[in-house]
Amino acid sequence: MTPANPIGIFDSGIGGLSVAREIRELLPGEDIVYVADSLHAPYGEKSDNYIFQRMSTVTAFLLTRGVKTVVVACNTATTTAISRLRARYPIPIVGVEPGIKPAALSTHTGIIGVLATPRTLQTNSFTTLAERFANNVKIEIQPCPDLVARIEALSFNSDQTITLLKQYIAPLLDKGADTIVLGCTHYNHLSELISEIAGKNVAIIKTDAAVAKEVVRRLSSEGLLAIGDHTGSEEFWTSGSLAAYHQQIEQLWGKSSRCYRWF
């Protein structure tokens, strides 16, 4: 690995693009290789072993692209098996987990709501994370089945998506939550809509910027930050439909982006 090598980022789909965008903002000189494992999405409906095998397969592919670090831009994957992935691959691996800590510092009512995939909320890692702050705040969880599929379809403002969000957010507000954690990177694409539905007195907590800062810290500590004034490039890979991926990347990143089908 050298400073000239790219940063690898993956998610089960397009959710991790929110993390990639923050990384690009902080590190304009870094090359980025992004993989959406769309053929096997959503991870939130899969078993622990299945998710780990997909994580391993994607990481192995990223290593063939010469990446110097891997960012697991998926809450479900991180909370399910990132420790196993780190044990398998001797490369800096950065994950993303629900922002319970910043939410605990932000809340005034002492009640935090968490929107996440059913699978993330069932992991031991999430339970352990929540228990660390359970003495100071009350954490109300809300599984959000079907929401990732709406986001993958780029259905950001449809009546169906708005109805789902209202259905998921209302119980948290009824319980007094004044802070809502977005526990899935896909939900970052709906953060403004979620904020509008929740109301101006409810704080929305995302962790994409925090993950990007951790990537900078890790690369700096390893002496792997890109050197010089090189303008970073991007490659976007998918295990799913290339035509659908082109449309997703064009809308969320830019028309000139390079997209490839990965088998």
Q: What is the pLDDT of residue 45?
A: 78
The total number of residues written for the chain in this structure? 263
**Residue 144 pLDDT > 90, yes or no?**
yes
CATH topology of domain 7-96+209-261: Rossmann fold (3.40.50)
The predicted-structure confidence for 8-21, as pLDDT tens digits, reads as follows 999 999 999 999 99
Q: What is the pLDDT of residue 185?
A: 95
Mean pLDDT (whole number) for 233-257: 93
Residues of the chain with CATH 3.40.50.1860: 7-96+209-261, 100-206
The question of whether 259 is a catalytic residue gets the answer: no
**Chain centroid to CA 15:** 5
Percent of the chain with pLDDT over 90: 88
pLDDT band at 114 (very low <50, low <70, confident <90, very high): very high
The predicted-structure confidence for 158-191, as pLDDT tens digits, reads as follows 999 999 999 999 999 999 999 999 999 999 999 9
The question of whether 144 is a catalytic residue gets the answer: no
Class of domain 100-206: alpha beta
From 184, 194, 211, 224, the catalytic residue: 184
| Contacting residues for 72 by C-beta, under 8 A, at least 6 apart | 10, 55, 78, 82, 85, 93, 94, 95, 96
| Contacting residues for 250 by C-beta, under 8 A, at least 6 apart | 257
From 74, 112, 173, 224, the catalytic residue: 74
**Residue 255 pLDDT > 80, yes or no?**
no
Q: Does the global pTM surpass 0.85?
A: yes
DSSP state of 3: T
